[in-house]
Amino acid sequence: MATRLMCKTLGAACLGLSMALSAPTVFALADIIETPSRPTTLAPAHLLNDVDTAGDRIVAAGVRGHIIFSDDGGETWVQGEVPVSVTLTGVDFGTEQHGWAVGHSGVVLHSDDAGENWDLQLTGVRAAELAIESRQEQIDDMEQKLEEAPEEEKDELDWALGDLYFSLENLQADLEIGPVNPFLDVWFENDKHGFVVGAYGMFLRTTDGGKTWKDWAPKLENPSSFHLNSIGRITGGGLVIVGEAGQIFVSVDGGESWEKRESPYEGSLFGAIGTGNVNEILAFGLRGNIFFSSDLGRSWKVVPSESDATLNDGTVSEDGRITLVGNGGAVLMSTNGGDTFRPYFRDDREGVMDVVPVSGTNLLIVGEGGVKHTDARGKNLQ
Amino acid sequence: MSNPKHDKGEHYLTTPKAEPFLERLIFNNRAIILIAFFFLTLFLGYNAVKIEPDASFERMIPLEHPYIVNMLEHRDDLENLGNFVRIAVEVEEGDIFTAEYMETLKQITDEVFYLNGVDRSGLKSLWTSNVRWVEVTEQGFQGGTVIPDGYDGSRASLEQLRQNVLRSNEVGRLISDNFRSTIVYAPLYENNPETGEPLDYGEFSRQLEEKIRDKYEAQNPSIEIHIVGFAKKVGDLIEGIGSIAWFAGITIILTTLLLFGYSRCITGTLVPVFTSIIAVFLQLGTLRLLGYGLDPYSVLVPFLVFAIGISHGVQIVNAMAVEAAKGFDSVTAARLAFRALYIPGMLALISDAFGFLTLFFIEIDVIRDLAVAAGIGVAFVILTNLVLHVLIMSYLGISKGGVRHVQNHGEKQDRKWRVMSYFAHPGVAPISLLIAVIGLGLGLYYKQGLKVGDLDQGAPELRADSRYNKDNAYIINNYSTSADVLVVMVKTEEEQCTQYNVLRAMDNLQWELQNTPGVQSSASLADVSKIVTKALNEGNWKWYEISRNQTIINASIREAPAGLINTNCDLTPVLVFLEDHKAETLETVTERVEEFASNNNNDEYTFMLAAGNAGVEAATNDVISNAKNMMLIFVYGVVASLCLLTFRSIRAVLCILIPLGLTSILAEAIMAMSGIGIKVATLPVIALGVGIGVDYGIYIYSKLEKFLLEGKTLQEAYFETLRSTGKAVIFTGVTLGIGVVTWIFSPIKFQADMGLLLFFMFIWNMVGSIWLLPALARFLLRPDRMVAKARANK
């Protein structure tokens, strides 16, 4: 009687307690996409894969569903409430309030309060189902086309159809295991329109803030389903996706249609950023390779870097300095708009995944060892 | 009343009226018994000399504790997780990238390779081919040995070496963070794979010193070598046992001087020393015949045996001198001394033995061995002291000087005893009690800080400033590593140890633990899988996750380090690196693991505690905390029963036990204040301290009671007590104290702790019985009723 009375007054807390007490001694651990990220003070010191700004707020995402934010330029951090515990790979804010984070198990998370609370919008299961439906449609179209096509084009179409079937079978096999594949990056234009890219050519688009998603992979000429590592907008409004095996795709119509660019590189590209000048792109990736284009990726030139550390991401500061960061503690700086870079290797040699400018010429880097405050060269601030 | 002269000074319970059967048996066969002793000593002495140091790991741990049961059950699967040595070669100036340094390192690597006991296939250093750098390229991976092809010590090849080191992922592991030292990592065979012989830790450790440290530090003065690892630690312990010989020598010399000061008689000095040493030889020889070695704990027993032998031998010398002073010849004096002392002597020694027996409550073999060794020792002391000693003295007699000393000295000291008898005065006794109560209060207050377990950094067996612990501190400070490892074992069905759910569960536990205070980091197959999955995806950290795809998991752990998967793949460990091995840390962490295990263990996997040094310590602490109260209750119970049996009075028991209890509490306060935890080494001290310490109280009380029954006032009776036995009691306390005080200088930390505590307990128990016992008697004893009762009994 007393217990019931107390339960009424204490409400949810009591519910939790009675559940804990009545829980069976043996139960399997819940799947990580059903396990909320554990509140921890360790999050700022563990792997963070991406960082973005939401107004003055800095938001970073990493392992075990960690999303942390700071309102004082990275001095102190608060952990957001995240309903999953997967490794998160990307975070992007379309507005100061609306942000999205993506990660393993094909999760897409959304926050409408500048990163404090997150809800799960999509998982890898739904993403795979969308891709399978879309592949099925492509196959139907292709078979239709094949029937109507003149004899001399049939061979080529046959090949394309084969690729589609192969892709479909892979998707189905993966789905049998579960939500196996990760999203690797996310970009939102505003609080409605955005894209997520991921492993094996995963590419989805939403126009309603993530309520519904559409498989956008058919818009890319990516028959081998190469990983798509990064998506972002460059100065001038062009959208750029880069990925495995030198894949570069560019859209000049806000993502409706995409063009494959001839790549200067056979290895993986992990990022592409603008330089501050219209239509200029810096693409970079494996072994310190950096390429520069001033014409939206139609032509490229190699940028000397004096470093063979893989580069992961970069940023342009207000004063025009370009900073690229990468594995082995690499922090590369260009003060001439990306013509040349000077490398610095941090003492800890830990991988750096992303960077944002903070006060003065200082930087905030995130990566293998969590978040660190550095000077313009990448040296730790005392 | 056949010998009224003799009866005068003895307790009614312990003095037989006529020559007993034993006395006749011994004194009628003096020559035969001496010859028998001669051959027994020869035989057992020969064995005693051949006794070997033994620091067997298994004997130092609580084998019956569930953690240890789990650990031993899976020891084959866990092999080589813990048994390795790390040799850090430090350059004192500059960095490691010099031709000279690399040449020395190469030679050291080669030398270690040929050391007996090293698992050569697992040997790692910059110079071994298994230390590689790997780099992701457009075509896949490329890599090579860290030492560049065609290395020639030139500036260019050293620069190439530096590049390779930076991309080798070994910084913090094999190469220190500041590039001023590198490690030669040598896993060891527990048993030689060819001969099956167990690794000789003492010999291995000596070789490390001679062939590695001494040789190369001499050859290249700019380097310093630091060596850590279980084998080195055990080696140092074994060496530490050796230094005990010095302490033995010092103890014998000190005791001899003291004894001479006491007796002023050469024979009365040398004979007790000689017979006590014989008792030690007999004890050690018997131990060897029973298959024991000398471990760092039982090596201390000979000191106790020697001290007990001396302190009881003194009683014989004293009694003989008294008899000789009355004019008896040496044989008669010896007979009378034997007659007077064989029952109280045996009683005291047997009560010592009961004290040791309580050690059996601690389920740790070394402690039980300690009890056995001490028990055997005390048994031999009964023989050597009451038989051999008496017989030798019956031939040699007490010197005239000794007799004179007894006659004069007693009178000279009377004034001193008179002053001390005021401890029983009605005006002084309350002050004494007040001081005791204050002492008790302080003791209880400071004792609150008493901790279970080892409290110091590094290897707790050795001193903080020992070479080993300095080396250990160097490696901890310069490499990403912790010396305190708790291993959680994860048991699965055969071939299932790498399943996604298993790795995921381990990962969950690890994160839970990393969020537990005291945990520094952790490692398991889950980490290997994540890191390799990342590497297989072009080194991109965004892939740092356990894949749901079993094929990818299997690929990721194909090259997992040995020890993380057993042959059947039904056991995989989670290594938890702790900040220290304090009892609270261990308790918090093991509780967290147990909670996790009971919530999550299922058909797929079972999480079990525990291996690793921290696992062993957690189990040991558990056993110790459980045994502590049992042992205290038992030892006090035994001592109280013995006293009650002897004196038939609760008041008497209180008079004797309260000083002991005060000493025990003060000893715990001292432990708390000097940072000594309750551990394998210090728990026996309580039993030994109480078991041996009660002797004083028994001697004092028995005399006091006798004089009270004669109708004397309390203070007068106490004066007589002091006069007749006070000197012997003080001497006994000092002898026992000297017997253990040298241990304080032992290189082995726990021996030093034991020495300090036993010294305190022996001395303070003596002080307690002389100072506090009479004060208690003032309040507790009712001499009138005692006399009346004694009369009624007659």
Q: Is residue A284 part of a domain?
A: yes
∠A60-B523-B625 over CA atoms, to 5°?
A: 115
- Inspect the interface and report whether the beta carbons of B166 and A349 lie closer than 8 Å: yes
Whether residue B607 sits in one domain with residue B668: no
Q: What is the pLDDT of residue A136?
A: 95
> What number of residues does chain B have?
794
For B520, the closest chain A residue by CA position comes to A42
The domain boundary, picked from B376, B398, B420, lies at B398
Q: What is the pLDDT of residue B100?
A: 92
Contacts of A64 in chain B (CB under 8 A): 511
Whether residue A280 sits in one domain with residue A131: yes
Q: What is the pLDDT of residue B13?
A: 41
From B206's Cα to the closest Cα of chain A, the distance in A is: 37
Q: What is the mean pLDDT of residues B210-237?
A: 90
Q: What share of chain B is helix, strand, coil (3-state, %, to 5)?
A: 65, 10, 25
Contacts of B538 in chain A (CB under 8 A): 268, 286, 310
- Inspect the interface and report whether the beta carbons of B167 and A286 lie closer than 8 Å: no
Residue A276 to residues A281, A312, B204, B311, Cα–Cα distance (Å): 9, 19, 66, 93
Residue B3's CB is within 10 A of a number of other CB atoms, namely 13
Q: What is the pLDDT of residue A351?
A: 93
Whether residue B411 sits in one domain with residue B392: no
- Inspect the interface and report whether the beta carbons of A286 and B138 lie closer than 8 Å: yes
Closest CA to B47 of B239, B294, B218: B294
Give yes or no for B166 touching A (CB within 8 A). yes
Whether residue B247 sits in one domain with residue B174: no
Whether residue A108 sits in one domain with residue A6: no
Give yes or no for B505 touching A (CB within 8 A). yes
Q: Tell me the CATH number at A124.
A: 2.130.10.10
For A270, the closest chain B residue by CA position comes to B540
Whether residue A86 sits in one domain with residue A1: no
Whether residue B126 sits in one domain with residue B2: no
Token pair 């995963």 in the structure block, residue? A202
Whether residue B490 sits in one domain with residue B443: no
The domain boundary, picked from B199, B218, B239, lies at B239
Q: Tell me the CATH number at B524.
A: 3.30.70.1320
Contacts of B534 in chain A (CB under 8 A): none
- Separation CA A179–CA B374 (nearest Å): 67
Q: Comparing B591 with B747, which gets the higher pLDDT?
A: B591
∠B264-B265-B270 over CA atoms, to 5°?
A: 120
Whether residue B531 sits in one domain with residue B439: no
Whether residue A170 sits in one domain with residue A111: yes
Whether residue B324 sits in one domain with residue B235: no
Q: Are strands A342-345 and A330-334 parallel, antiparallel or unpaired?
A: antiparallel
Give yes or no for B137 touching A (CB within 8 A). yes
From A188's Cα to the closest Cα of chain B, the distance in A is: 20
Whether residue A181 sits in one domain with residue A330: yes
Provide the domain count of chain A: 2
Q: Are strands A88-93 and A99-103 parallel, antiparallel or unpaired?
A: antiparallel
- Inspect the interface and report whether the beta carbons of B511 and A38 lie closer than 8 Å: yes
| Per-residue model confidence as pLDDT tens for chain A (382 residues) | 333 333 333 333 333 333 333 333 334 578 999 999 999 999 999 999 999 999 999 999 999 999 999 999 999 999 999 999 999 999 999 999 999 999 999 999 999 999 999 999 999 999 999 999 999 999 999 999 888 888 888 888 889 899 999 999 999 999 999 999 999 999 999 999 999 999 999 999 999 999 999 999 999 999 999 999 999 999 999 999 999 999 999 999 999 999 999 999 999 999 999 999 999 999 999 999 999 999 999 999 999 988 889 999 999 999 999 999 999 899 999 999 999 999 999 988 889 999 999 988 999 999 999 999 999 999 998 7
Whether residue B254 sits in one domain with residue B229: no
Q: What is the pLDDT of residue A18?
A: 35
- Inspect the interface and report whether the beta carbons of B501 and A47 lie closer than 8 Å: no
pLDDT digits (tens, 9 = 90+) for B390-400: 999 999 888 87
Q: Is residue B627 part of a domain?
A: no
pLDDT digits (tens, 9 = 90+) for B170-191: 887 889 888 899 999 998 887 7
Whether residue B480 sits in one domain with residue B422: no
Whether residue B789 sits in one domain with residue B656: yes
Give yes or no for B555 touching A (CB within 8 A). no
For A102, the closest chain B residue by CA position comes to B542
Contacts of B514 in chain A (CB under 8 A): 42
Q: What is the pLDDT of residue B55?
A: 65
Comparing CB atoms, the residue among B541, B549, B602 nearest residue A368 is B541
Query: pTM value?
Result: 0.82
Provide the domain count of chain B: 4
Q: Tell me the CATH number at B371.
A: 1.20.1640.10
pLDDT digits (tens, 9 = 90+) for B683-740: 888 778 887 788 788 878 888 988 898 889 999 999 988 887 788 888 888 888 888 8
pLDDT bucket at B137, cuts 50 / 70 / 90: low
Q: Is residue A193 part of a domain?
A: yes
pLDDT digits (tens, 9 = 90+) for B405-423: 777 655 667 888 888 889 9
Contacts of A287 in chain B (CB under 8 A): 135-138
Give yes or no for A346 touching B (CB within 8 A). no
- Inspect the interface and report whether the beta carbons of A28 and B501 lie closer than 8 Å: yes
Q: Is residue A38 part of a domain?
A: no
Q: Is the pLDDT of residue B455 over 80?
A: no
Q: Is the pLDDT of residue B512 over 90?
A: yes
Whether residue B169 sits in one domain with residue B25: no
Give yes or no for A20 touching B (CB within 8 A). no
- Inspect the interface and report whether the beta carbons of A180 and B508 lie closer than 8 Å: no
Give yes or no for A47 touching B (CB within 8 A). yes
Closest CA to B765 of B686, B709, B674, B704: B686
Element counts in chain A: helices (H) and strands (E): 4, 27
Q: What is the pLDDT of residue B171?
A: 80
Check residue B178 and report its DSSP letter.
T
Of A331-335, B137-141, B157-161, the range with the lowest mean pLDDT is B137-141
Position B257, amino acid: L
Q: What is the mean pLDDT of residues B430-438?
A: 94
Whether residue B392 sits in one domain with residue B328: yes
Cite the DSSP H helix spans in B326-386. 330-357, 365-383
Closest CA to B396 of B311, B269, B278: B269
Whether residue A102 sits in one domain with residue A231: yes
Size of interface A-B (CB pairs under 8 A): 91
Q: What is the pLDDT of residue A4?
A: 34
Comparing CB atoms, the residue among B540, B544, B547 nearest residue A63 is B544
pLDDT digits (tens, 9 = 90+) for B40-60: 999 999 999 888 877 666 777
Whether residue A21 sits in one domain with residue A120: no
Whether residue A132 sits in one domain with residue A21: no
Comparing CB atoms, the residue among A47, A328, A368 nearest residue B166 is A328
Residue B255 to residues A57, B8, B250, B599, B770, Cα–Cα distance (Å): 78, 31, 8, 61, 22
Q: Is residue B455 part of a domain?
A: no
Closest CA to A210 of A94, A82, A129, A114: A94
Residue A1's CB is within 10 A of a number of other CB atoms, namely 5
- Separation CA A157–CA B725 (nearest Å): 115
- Separation CA B690–CA B684 (nearest Å): 10
Residue range of the domain that includes B671: 406-448+648-794
Residue A253 to residues A198, B355, B508, Cα–Cα distance (Å): 21, 92, 45
Q: Is the pLDDT of residue B12 over 60?
A: no
Q: Is residue A35 part of a domain?
A: no
Residue range of the domain that includes A336: 43-374
Q: What is the pLDDT of residue A21?
A: 37
- Inspect the interface and report whether the beta carbons of A177 and B602 lie closer than 8 Å: no
Q: What is the pLDDT of residue B452?
A: 86
Contacts of B166 in chain A (CB under 8 A): 328, 345, 349
ipTM: 0.92
Whether residue A204 sits in one domain with residue A87: yes
Q: What is the pLDDT of residue B408?
A: 66
Q: What is the pLDDT of residue B313?
A: 86
- Inspect the interface and report whether the beta carbons of A49 and B542 lie closer than 8 Å: yes
Q: Is residue A36 part of a domain?
A: no
Q: What is the pLDDT of residue B79?
A: 57
Q: Is residue A85 part of a domain?
A: yes
Residue B134 to residues A167, A349, B126, Cα–Cα distance (Å): 32, 15, 14
Contacts of B504 in chain A (CB under 8 A): 29, 32
pLDDT digits (tens, 9 = 90+) for B656-675: 999 999 999 999 999 999 88
Comparing CB atoms, the residue among A49, A105, A310 nearest residue B539 is A310
Q: What is the pLDDT of residue A294?
A: 95
Give yes or no for A266 touching B (CB within 8 A). yes
B458 contacts B553 by C-beta, under 8 angstroms: no
| Tokens describing residue B600 | 């999550």
Whether residue A171 sits in one domain with residue A95: yes
Q: Is residue B474 part of a domain?
A: yes
Contacts of B550 in chain A (CB under 8 A): 177
- Inspect the interface and report whether the beta carbons of B549 and A40 lie closer than 8 Å: no
Q: Is residue A380 part of a domain?
A: no
Q: What is the pLDDT of residue B57?
A: 67
**B-interface mutation test, from A35, A89, A105, A230, most B Cβ less than 10 A away:** A89
Give yes or no for B551 touching A (CB within 8 A). no
Half-sphere exposure of B786 (CA within 13 A, CB side): 22
Q: What's the whole-number average pLDDT of chain B?
A: 85
Whether residue A320 sits in one domain with residue A211: yes
Q: Is residue A60 part of a domain?
A: yes
Whether residue A77 sits in one domain with residue A10: no
Give yes or no for A270 touching B (CB within 8 A). yes
pLDDT digits (tens, 9 = 90+) for B573-600: 999 988 888 888 899 999 999 999 999 9
Give yes or no for B514 touching A (CB within 8 A). yes
